[in-house]
Structure formats: structure tokens, C-alpha cells
Amino acid sequence: MIGYVTLGTNDLERGAPFYDAIAKELGTGRMMEWPGGIAWGEAGGAAGVCLMKPYDGKPATIGNGVMVAFEANSTEQVDRLYDIALSHGGTCEGKPGYRGEQGGFYAAYFRDPDGNKLNAFVMKKAG
């Protein structure tokens, strides 16, 4: 249903290496580039993410309650994505671990260098 998500940046050169590293761990790369923006993902693949300077020319700001979640393939990959984020200028919003009463949701929360909230997760399938 979702084709891609766009996040704002005030410094594309600072933010690009952060998303390059996250995308590499998730097995993808840059799909499109233009002055002021970069999109990561694959045409016809799962939803991608785009980082760009706001079209209206005003400063980018973070959304309160807005978060983009990256689906991982294992708890180990969630851990790696969290470590990658922090080593590329991100900040911790919640260390990797199981969430919820059933324990089937493993997630880590972090912010990109612009302050956009992100999550890496894996969900154990029922049954």
C-alpha cells in the first residue's frame, strides 16, 4: 500500500551516509538522486525512503508522533541496524529488545541526524 516515505533534511550531505548504511544492511541502495534529494529502495520492490530538502525552501522539521519503521529479517539484523544508526550520527530512542506482552515484537528505536524518528523491527509470526 505505501510506495515510499519522504523525510525532510536540512543537510543532505550529512544525512545521506546514514541512509546509505541503513539501506546497505537491508540489501538495497540508492534508487534516484537529484539536487536536494535521494531515494533508497528498488523499483517494484517494497516501500522505499526518500530524504530531501523541503520543496517550499523552509527548514525541515521533525513530526511529533511520526516514525518510519524498517522491517528486518532477524533480531540480529535489528541489532545491526541500531548499531549502524548510532555509528552514523543517529541517537538512541530505545535499545533493541522485545516489546509487548506476547514477546513476538523485537524492535529498536533511533533518530537520524536530522531528528526523524525511525525503528527497526522483526515480528515473530503467529503459530
Phi, psi dihedral angles at 98 (to 5 degrees): -75, 140
Residue 100: what pLDDT?
Answer: 82
| CA pair distance 75, 44, nearest whole angstrom | 26
Q: At 10, phi and psi to the nearest 5? A: -105, -5
Torsion of the alpha carbons at 78, 114, 37 and 72, rounded to the nearest 10? 10
Rounded-to-integer distance, Cα 49 and Cα 41, Å: 7
Cα 21 from chain centre: 10
pLDDT at position 3 is: 85
State the cell numbers at 1: 500500500
d(CA 55, CA 114): 16
Distance CA 117, CA 5 (A): 13
Can you give the pLDDT at residue 2? 82
pLDDT for the residue numbered 47: 87
- What pLDDT was estimated at residue 44? 85
Beta strand pairing call for 4-8 and 30-34: unpaired
Domains and CATH numbers, the chain: 4-55+66-123 (3.10.180.10)
What pLDDT score does 125 carry?
A: 67
**pLDDT for the residue 101:** 73
- Give per-10-residue mean pLDDT for the chain (127 aa): 90 98 97 96 90 95 93 97 98 95 89 97 77
Q: Which of 59, 76, 60, 89 is nearest to 110 (CA)?
A: 89
